[in-house]
Structure 1
Amino acid sequence: MIAIGVEPNGTNINDRCGSTAPALLQETVVASGADIGVALDGDADRLIVVDEKGSIVDGDQIMALIGGELGTAGAAERRRRRRDGDVEPRLERFLEGEGLRLERTKVGDRYVLERMKAGGFNVGGEQSGHMILSDHATTGDGTLAALQLLAELVRAGRPASELLHQFDPVPQLLKNVRFAGGKPLDAPAVQAAIAVGETMLDGRGRLLIRASGTEPVIRVMAEGDDAGEVEQVVDMICDAVRAAAAN
């Protein structure tokens, strides 16, 4: 095992390392010939994985593997092991193909956990790599999720690049719009643009639009089967937000 980014000095948490900056991990995995790399965030409640080729594996692929592995039990067990979280369409289609039910929540691990508790669900997560495995813990635990992945890697006897590529992700685009004040998302023109975008992506993708909780930024994300359409939708909504913020 090769450890990197493990010399804290009180000010260097996530400094060019960890799940938010995985470039060093990618380089180290390839240079050392490692089978897999795991990066945690500052409080270790989420993870991002790097396969042996240096490619990043996000939370959607991790949920697909864990969900699919748990779903290898019988039909009754599959129905019990329902999923909850913020996911993209290809993951949803993959889980449906495995006979697994999926539910969505608002972005944020608190909402995922609340829904898991209410519904008795045992696997929750987000694309950011935040994983909650309620059979083993009551909160997000990146180390626990990593151990689950490593156990499956050993059991399957397949390289990480194969095992952790459960489905082909759809095109996704995220843009941030900074604003000076007010609530641009409440503007009628912005709501109208969002409605048009939802109609354009209906059945072929989804929209996720929210205000940042830490800075004056509106995050506009869209994903779908058509990359050009995704970009068109994101740009249209961003333009509407900028116009509303300027008024």
Structure 2
Amino acid sequence: MAGVALFGTDGIRGRYGEFLTERLAERVAFAAGQLIPERSRIIIGRDTRASGVALEGALTAGFIKSGHTVVRIGIIPTPGLAYLALEPGVALAVMITASHNPASDNGIKIFGDNGMKISDSWETQIETWVNSGIEVPNTPSGEVIEDSTAVDRYAKHLIGAIDVRLEGLTVALDCAHGAASVIAPQVLEKLGASVLAIGVKPDGANINAGVGSTHLEALQELVRTSGADIGIAHDGDADRALFVDHNGGIIDGDHVLATLALAMSNSHRLKKSTVVTTVMSNLGFHKAMAGAGIAVEVTAVGDRYVLERLNELGLSLGGEQSGHIIIREQATTGDGILTALTLLALIAKGEVNPGKISQVFESFPQILVNVPVSNKESVMIDPVITEALHDSERELGGSGRLLVRTSGTEQLVRVMAEAETVAQAEKVVTSLVALIRSRYGQ
């Protein structure tokens, strides 16, 4: 297993049974167990993938062989596990999920006792041990506890996060046949909303299959035909949410973030009048924030980088176009259900019109193409491509922008352009993609 790179931008993720095996999971757990005090308490949660059960068993074995107590929570959203990591006595929280990926994939996310993803340094130490070839000793000395009330504690936290009832609101909800299905409908109903739910019948193989935040068509149709006030779509582990307005129009994370930022600014709750977003945020978002006197901090893609900047600067709100929103005073990671509740509370109070969220700013046309390449690192340092990038940037001038970056998990280069017209953006992207394919195409 020498030299295997385990951690990407969001933990360990790959095809179950090929990259991510029970043996690898056990070794990761044993290695992580070496980084915390003896006889520590570790909580493990999972989404609804069938492979999660076997991986849960393997992780449990690795941790008890390193002398720790494992508390198995079962199915829970990733942000729920991160919240429970803050409970007294918890040293690590491990989530088994591949988020929005298909059921054939799975992954491992590890959180520390602060509810945040472990540091790059810890990831490196785990990776080094896993790749060392040292065998896990077959001497279990820890214990296993099943905790059937953990999801209820997270639900109580969510219900207490808003200060208004949701009676009178009809919400269409898509839980992606994932972890949200065990909690999101119940929380909304307890708060008084009328809930029309799809994607709530997980069978181990249907997570994210034609449903959820990456497949909004079913939710759009449900909203249009039911007359719901708004639609909410989660991904497999519910760390993100996208929305659909009453006409079936898609509301992305940029528009949700802008809406929350403006509302928090108006109520003087937006710390330092600053919001954090990533390089993928639309130019229209930046112009809207500037017009409202709100500063924007920009990070690399990934909610861990958004969180780092929030903590570093003492800020209260950040997020991504993909729907990861971090409300720092209430969460340590992106939380799709919390985001939805916060937005619904503003709607219930009359502070936000759900039909106008998509109008909070006008998006610049954005064209994004993922280019499979033979060597993504070489693309980024190729002088011919670099010169073409500079030429394209000059062509766009001050009325657009260009972003070329590598995927954190695949041999892909992402080429994105924004401009005042679709034609301008397409011209720039088409030219660059053709050049990259001609030199590094697979």
1:230 corresponds to: 425
1:44 aligns with 2:44: no
1:85 aligns with 2:277: yes
In structure 1, distance between residues paired with 2:399 and 2:288? 15
Answer yes or no: is the 8 Å Cα contact 2:346–2:352 preserved in 1: no
The amino acid that maps onto 2:350 is A
1:220 aligns with 2:415: yes
Measured after TM superposition, the shift of residue 81 of structure 1 is 3.4
2:223 corresponds to: 29
Deviations 1:22-45 (A, max 9, x none): 111001111111111100111111
Q: Flag the 1:191–1:6 CA change in 2: closer, same or farther, 3 A.
A: same
* 2:405 pairs with one of 185, 189, 210: 210
**Secondary structure of the residue that 1:3 maps to in structure 2?**
strand
In structure 1, distance between residues paired with 2:277 and 2:208? 25
Measured after TM superposition, the shift of residue 78 of structure 1 is 5.5
Answer yes or no: is the 8 Å Cα contact 2:223–2:248 preserved in 1: yes
Measured after TM superposition, the shift of residue 158 of structure 1 is 6.1
In structure 2, distance between residues paired with 1:38 and 1:229? 33
With structure 1 as the length reference, what TM-score do the two structures score?
A: 0.93
1:198 aligns with 2:390: no
Answer yes or no: is the 8 Å Cα contact 2:271–2:316 preserved in 1: no
1:134 corresponds to: 328
Deviates more, 1:80-89 or 1:52-61: 80-89
Deviates more, 1:162-171 or 1:58-67: 162-171
1 or 2 for the larger relative contact order (CA 8 Å, sep ≥6)? 1
With structure 2 as the length reference, what TM-score do the two structures score?
A: 0.53
1:170-189 residue pairs with structure 2 within 5 A? 170-181=364-375, 183-189=378-384
1:8 corresponds to: 202
The amino acid that maps onto 1:166 is V
Unaligned runs of 5+ in 2: 1-194
In structure 2, distance between residues paired with 1:101 and 1:217? 32
The amino acid that maps onto 2:402 is L
**Secondary structure of the residue that 2:389 maps to in structure 1?**
helix
1:109 aligns with 2:311: no
In structure 2, distance between residues paired with 1:45 and 1:79? 23
In structure 2, distance between residues paired with 1:213 and 1:160? 34
User: Which protein has the larger Cα radius of gyration, Structure 1 or Structure 2?
Assistant: 2
The amino acid that maps onto 1:81 is S
Q: Flag the 1:202–1:73 CA change in 2: closer, same or farther, 3 A.
A: farther
Deviates more, 1:81-90 or 1:29-38: 81-90
In structure 1, distance between residues paired with 2:360 and 2:226? 25
The amino acid that maps onto 2:423 is G
1:151 aligns with 2:333: no
The amino acid that maps onto 1:162 is K
Answer yes or no: is the 8 Å Cα contact 1:221–1:234 preserved in 2: yes
Q: How many residues align?
A: 245
Measured after TM superposition, the shift of residue 224 of structure 1 is 1.9
Measured after TM superposition, the shift of residue 179 of structure 1 is 1.8
Measured after TM superposition, the shift of residue 100 of structure 1 is 0.6
* 1:169 pairs with one of 363, 380, 387: 363
**Secondary structure of the residue that 1:104 maps to in structure 2?**
strand
Measured after TM superposition, the shift of residue 154 of structure 1 is 1.4
1:65 corresponds to: 259
Deviates more, 1:199-208 or 1:90-99: 199-208
Deviates more, 1:213-222 or 1:122-131: 213-222
**Secondary structure of the residue that 1:71 maps to in structure 2?**
helix
2:52 corresponds to: none
Answer yes or no: is the 8 Å Cα contact 1:35–1:159 preserved in 2: no
